[in-house]
Amino acid sequence: MTVSPRLIIPVLCSAIVASCASRADTSVAYVERPVETIYSEAFDTMQGRQFRQAAAQFDEVERQHPYSEWARRSMLMAAFANYQARNYEEAISDAQRFISLHPGNRNTAYAYYLIAISYFEQIMDVGRDQQTTQQAMDALQQVVRRFPDSRYATDARLKIDMTRDHLAGKEMDVGRWYLRRNFHLAAINRFRNVIAEYETTSHTPEALHRLVESYVALGIDEEARQVASVLGYNFPGSEWYEASYNLLTREGIALDNAVAHDDPSYFQRAWRRLFG
C-alpha cells in the first residue's frame, strides 16, 4: 500500500531548494547546513522516489539539529521513506523511536500504523513460519485499539481480516498435512482451532468438511453426522457440503433429520456442543 506523505504530515517548509544529486550509497557526508535546507532536500529526494537516499537525508536532519522541531518531523519521514524503500526493519525501528520520544504527538497514530503495515508487507506464504503474520496482527489490533476513530483504523480493520485469513490458512495447511498422514486426532485439533479462532474466515467450510473426513476415518459416525449437518445448514451450496454429503452417503451415514426440517435451534446446540 502506498501512502502519500502529503496526507500524513503537512509540508513543513515554504521554500524547496534543488534536490541533491544521486549517490552510489545512502551515506551523507557531514556538511553543516541550515535545518530547513536539509529537510527540503530530503523531501525533494523522496518526491523523486529515491527513498533510501531520502531516509539518509532525513536522518541527517536529526544528526545535525537533534533538538529542533525539524528533527522530530524528520524522524517519522525517515520511517516513511524506509517503508517505501522496503527497508521494513528500519521503518519499524524509526517509528518505534518516534513513539518512544513523542508519545503524545498528533502523528503518533500514523507511527503505529506504519509499524503495522511494515509487518503486514512482510507476511509470507502459508507454508512458512507465521511469526511475522502474528506480529502484523498484533500491531494492526493496536492501531484499532488505540485510535479506533482514525483513518488508519479503518484500513487496519481490513488488514486484520486478511491477516486472520492468512493465519487460518496456516492452520489448514498443517491440518491437511496431518490428515494425509492419518494423524487424525492432530488434524482434528487444527481444524477445530480454525473454527473456534477464525470462524469468520473463508476457511471455515473446508475446516468443517475436513472434520467430517477425520471423524469418518476414526469411525466416530455421530460426530461426523453432526458436523456435516452444521456444514449443510451454514453453507448449503458450498462444494465442501457436497463433498461431505457424498462421503457420508458412501459410508451409509444418514444426516440428522434436523437438516431436512431446517431447525435453527438444533444447529445452535450442535455448534455449541461441537465447538463451544
Proportion of the chain above pLDDT 70, given as a percent: 79
Proportion of the chain above pLDDT 90, given as a percent: 59
Query: Would you place residue 5 in the very low, low, confident or very high pLDDT band (cuts 50, 70, 90)?
Result: very low
CATH code: domain of residue 33: 1.25.40.10
Distance (Å, rounded) from C-alpha 234 to C-alpha 6? 46
Q: What is the pLDDT of residue 14?
A: 31
Which range among 104-108, 146-150, 241-245, 264-268 shows the weakest confidence by mean pLDDT?
264-268
188 and 87 housed in the same domain: no
HEC secondary structure over the chain: CCCCHHHHCCCCCCCCCCCCCCCCCCCCCCCCCCHHHHHHHHHHHHHCCCHHHHHHHHHHHHHHCCCCHHHHHHHHHHHHHHHHCCCHHHHHHHHHHHHHHCCCCCCHHHHHHHHHHHHHCCCCCCCCCCHHHHHHHHHHHHHHHHCCCCHHHHHHHHHHHHHHHHHHHHHHHHHHHHHHCCCHHHHHHHHHHHHHHCCCCCCHHHHHHHHHHHHHHHCCHHHHHHHHHHHHHHCCCCHHHHHHHHHHHHHCCCCCHHHHHCCHHHHHHHHHHHHC
| Residue pLDDT, tens place only, 172-209 | 999 999 999 999 999 999 999 999 999 999 999 999 99
CB of 16 within 8 A of CB of 43? yes
32 and 106 housed in the same domain: yes
The total of structural domains in the chain comes to 2
Query: Would you place residue 36 in the very low, low, confident or very high pLDDT band (cuts 50, 70, 90)?
Result: confident
Q: Which domain holds residue 100?
A: 5-118
Does any domain span residue 60?
Answer: yes
109 and 211 housed in the same domain: no
Q: What is the pLDDT of residue 65?
A: 81
pTM of the model: 0.74
Q: What is the pLDDT of residue 162?
A: 93
| Residue pLDDT, tens place only, 131-172 | 889 999 999 999 999 999 999 999 999 999 999 999 999 999
Does any domain span residue 165?
Answer: no
